[in-house]
Structure 1
Amino acid sequence: MLAKVLAKLLSIYYSKCPLRIKGYYINSEQKPKGTVLVSYLSEPLTWKPGDRRFLGHSNAWESSEIVRILNSLGYRVDVIKWNDVGFVTHNTYSAIFDIHNNLTRYGSSEVPRLFHVTTSDPIFSNSAALQRVADLKERRGCEVRSHRAIPDDEVEMFQRNLVAADVISFLGNKATASTFPETIRSKFRFVPVTGSYLSWHRDPRKTTFANEFLWYGGFGAVHKGLDLTLEVFARHPELILHVVGPYLKEKDFTRAYYRELKFCPNIVSHGFLFPSSDRFRTLTKRVKAFILPSCSESASTAAVTCMQYGLFPVVSDNCGIDVDDSMGIRLHTCSIDEIEQAVLSLCSTPNKSMCQMTLNAQKYALKVFSQEAFRERMHSVLSEVLQHA
């Protein structure tokens, strides 16, 4: 209890007084060549290895690793949080690394600028999210907020950053890159996203699959297609759906889907769970596949995590994950009928075939979306930017 109270107090403190780390440098083998400003996440750099906070979203590890790579390249780093617009510095920077607010705020136009993009184009994302909300209202006659809408002023800033950036590191694939203006895509340098921390990987070869499924996603239940998934499984009481995520915080959504979440015995509402937890391991023991019909992502960390864990993916094109028929099902329209057809096709898939396809997905995700792959690719991108420093 005390730990939770302290964590909440620290969260409030950092929201009012964001942590700023100046001159971070741990490379004892060479003197620093200069200083780079990183505007992303600052707190994770102070956490010790094994800190429970690393069990959450993988951006905590990624943001810290970016700083360590810059150190290895011979640059000290000033680190601020992405939404810290009150930072004042007299440093002359060798380069600017930013994910949102500070790309053009510090340094002259001659300073190399790297814009780190972790989303689809916000114009596309907002449009897709609003369409999902409108579709839900048409189906159910109730209004639910998207909870993922990006304000107009932030969209405008994002578009200015796309133009101002010299290089854009992009977590996604060609499908998600196509949501951006063609004129700026030559700046893109693809970087693989990483999955959340896992203490254990399920072995598909030792799994007896049942007609059990999982929806696992982040904030924005309608955006992530939980509404569509619930409606599919409400049609099929013979199939089990486990629901994991922060959706219980979205009161308008839980009111709209109260019957499905409370009174459908085949739909099990778990709320938020870490994928490394014992509860997650227990509930996924016989799960055949996870379902994520998201309307907009860059590359979905949730999807990558589930694949690495050992779950077969049923994902939308907009999840930003390249899977073929040998290791997944891609949803092109995310209609209820399309999702239902995908689920029913898996119900009739023999255990041996299910095992092999799931193993294919796991091996692919563990190789392509590893921390090593992220480190190698980000090192290359940062080296390219700093050639012009």
Structure 2
Amino acid sequence: MNLKDFKAKLKNKIWRNVKAYFYDQRIADSTLVQNINLSTAQNQKKAIVSYVTYSHFNDWENNNIGRTQPFEILSMVKVLTELNYAIDIVGCHDLKTLDYLKLKNYDLIFGFGETFYQLTMLHPNAKSILYMTEHHPNFTKIEEQKRLDYFYDRKKKKANTVRTGNFYWDHHMKKKYTHVITMSETEPFNTEYTKPFNIFPTGILNNNFKLKPKNHDSSKKHFLWFGSYGAIHKGLDLLFDVFQKHDDIVLHVAGFYKDDRQLLEFPNKKNIIDYEYIDIQSNQFLEIIETCTYCILPSCSEGFSTAITTTMRHGLIPIVMENTGFNRLNELAFFLNDFNIEYIDKQLKEYSTKDSEYLASLSEKVFSFANSNFSIHAFESKFNVILNQILKND
């Protein structure tokens, strides 16, 4: 017996003895999902999705899913199933799966990450669709560095890049794929792709939410930053500096990560309120929605943030940076065109004194648009239209 066979036999023996102890983990996760919609009775085309696999291992009836991606992946698979593809799903950076997939033949490769890139190299004749959940990394890299430099100028603290380059690496972007679908702006892709497609991500809706008249005379003084990791990338440091100068406007902060707190100290100010993690299905979330008119996210770059889609589905008016992923909102958002502290301060003074009747009308338009475009049904429909356009000549 050679060494390779011996190692395999030993691992199998160990696994047989210990796998019962990891039953819950085996139920909850796997690195590879194969043969979805496969029919051995017909000749099907085969597709592989490079993203995440846990959508297909979750208890959807009893777990409160706080993220939008799992819903979207299920919709993607449903559309591919309706197009009669047999489908595999892999982790976007899980290269070990390639050993199990290298002998397969794929007609369609969809997704992102190093796994996606390697699969397109292994199957050069397959149709490839790069899926951009972020802004183009060339844009993000420059803009995030500007924020880090500005943070250092003000605080004399060095911060590292935390959002750029995690999933989209330089060599990924140098390769030309058959098509690209982006959640962000299409302009960076116009030179390489004749028709880059864009799609909105979904937003989560609190099941008990009902849009009702709001006292904007009061709530226009309240701004919600609803973020995730990468607080400097998402402009929370800027807002801390602005709101510390004031007592007349209030910043509500939800989703300020522990790792970011080690670098960015939370201000000891009554008008800056720390909620830590907020469950979107909670009554506390509804109370914040009722208190605020605006959701503010001065992020340097987004793939159209789900914090914005979610709060818009509850009628909050977005305040976002121009050209960072949100331009499609047009008149439904207030756009910042600079991240200088003095500029943001001036703009927030203006927003906090806007006509309340105008804000009530705009909030209703935001709510209507968001629930027409950011639901899982809208996502699935749009994804179906895009894939049918891409595959119509197959």
Q: TM-score, normalised by structure 1?
A: 0.85
User: Quick one: distance in 1 between partners of 2:110 and 2:37?
Assistant: 16
Whether the 8 Å contact between 1:122 and 1:150 is mirrored in structure 2 is: yes
Matched, 1:68 2:81: no
Q: Rg bigger for which structure? A: 2
User: Quick one: distance in 2 between partners of 1:201 and 1:331?
Assistant: 29
User: Quick one: distance in 2 between partners of 1:329 and 1:82?
Assistant: 34
- 2:186 partner letter: A
Whether the 8 Å contact between 1:177 and 1:185 is mirrored in structure 2 is: no
Residue by residue over 1:41-63, the C-alpha shift from the partner in whole angstroms, topping out at 9 and shown as x without a partner, is 21112324345352x22111111
User: Quick one: distance in 2 between partners of 1:201 and 1:333?
Assistant: 34
Kindly report which structure 2 residues correspond to 1:120-199, keeping only aligned pairs within 5 A, or say none. 120-150=135-165, 155-161=169-175, 163=176, 165-172=177-184, 176-178=185-187, 180=188, 182-199=190-207
Consecutive unaligned residues of structure 2, counting only runs of 5 or more, are: 1-20
Residue by residue over 1:124-171, the C-alpha shift from the partner in whole angstroms, topping out at 9 and shown as x without a partner, is 2121111101101112222233322326x952232134x1x1011111
User: Quick one: distance in 2 between partners of 1:345 and 1:282?
Assistant: 24
User: Quick one: distance in 1 between partners of 2:163 and 2:289?
Assistant: 28
Matched, 1:25 2:37: yes
Kindly report which structure 2 residues correspond to 1:165-244, keeping only aligned pairs within 5 A, or say none. 165-172=177-184, 176-178=185-187, 180=188, 182-207=190-215, 209-210=218-219, 211-244=221-254
- The Cα shift of 1:282 comes to 2.0
Q: Using the TM superposition, name which of 135-144 and 214-223 deviates more.
A: 135-144
User: Quick one: distance in 2 between partners of 1:351 and 1:181?
Assistant: 40
Three-state SS of the structure 2 residue aligned to 1:364 is helix
- The Cα shift of 1:34 comes to 2.3
Whether the 8 Å contact between 2:47 and 2:109 is mirrored in structure 1 is: yes
Residue by residue over 1:210-236, the C-alpha shift from the partner in whole angstroms, topping out at 9 and shown as x without a partner, is 322111112100000001111111111
- The Cα shift of 1:202 comes to 4.8
Kindly report which structure 2 residues correspond to 1:305-320, keeping only aligned pairs within 5 A, or say none. 305-317=310-322, 318-320=324-326
Task: Provide the residue aligned with 1:39 in structure 2.
Answer: 50
- The Cα shift of 1:368 comes to 2.3
Residue by residue over 1:14-69, the C-alpha shift from the partner in whole angstroms, topping out at 9 and shown as x without a partner, is 5xxx4211101289xx9562221111121112324345352x22111111211111
User: Quick one: distance in 1 between partners of 2:325 and 2:199?
Assistant: 15
- The Cα shift of 1:354 comes to 1.7
Kindly report which structure 2 residues correspond to 1:1-389, keeping only aligned pairs within 5 A, or say none. 10=25, 18-25=30-37, 33-54=44-65, 56-87=66-97, 88-89=100-101, 90-106=103-119, 107-150=122-165, 155-161=169-175, 163=176, 165-172=177-184, 176-178=185-187, 180=188, 182-207=190-215, 209-210=218-219, 211-254=221-264, 257-258=265-266, 260=267, 263-317=268-322, 318-325=324-331, 327-387=332-392, 389=394
Three-state SS of the structure 2 residue aligned to 1:243 is strand
- The Cα shift of 1:122 comes to 1.1
- 1:93 partner letter: Y
Q: 1:360 to 1:41 in 2, by over 3 A?
A: same
Q: 1:383 to 1:31 in 2, by over 3 A?
A: farther
Three-state SS of the structure 1 residue aligned to 2:116 is coil
Whether the 8 Å contact between 1:94 and 1:386 is mirrored in structure 2 is: no
User: Quick one: distance in 1 between partners of 2:107 and 2:253?
Assistant: 46
Three-state SS of the structure 1 residue aligned to 2:113 is coil
Three-state SS of the structure 1 residue aligned to 2:192 is helix
Moved over 6 A (4+): none
Three-state SS of the structure 2 residue aligned to 1:303 is helix
- The Cα shift of 1:204 comes to 4.7
Residue by residue over 1:328-348, the C-alpha shift from the partner in whole angstroms, topping out at 9 and shown as x without a partner, is 211111222332223222322
Task: Provide the residue aligned with 1:3 in structure 2.
Answer: none
- The Cα shift of 1:285 comes to 2.1
- The Cα shift of 1:352 comes to 2.1
- 2:201 partner letter: V
- 1:241 partner letter: L
- The Cα shift of 1:383 comes to 2.4
Consecutive unaligned residues of structure 1, counting only runs of 5 or more, are: 1-5
Q: Using the TM superposition, name which of 187-196 and 303-312 deviates more.
A: 187-196
Percent of pairs identical after alignment? 21
Whether the 8 Å contact between 2:189 and 2:196 is mirrored in structure 1 is: no
Residue by residue over 1:158-208, the C-alpha shift from the partner in whole angstroms, topping out at 9 and shown as x without a partner, is 2134x1x10111112xxx333x25422424111221113432435252455
User: Quick one: distance in 1 between partners of 2:361 and 2:84?
Assistant: 45
Q: 1:129 to 1:268 in 2, by over 3 A?
A: same
Residue by residue over 1:342-382, the C-alpha shift from the partner in whole angstroms, topping out at 9 and shown as x without a partner, is 32223222332221111111111111223222112211222
Three-state SS of the structure 2 residue aligned to 1:284 is helix
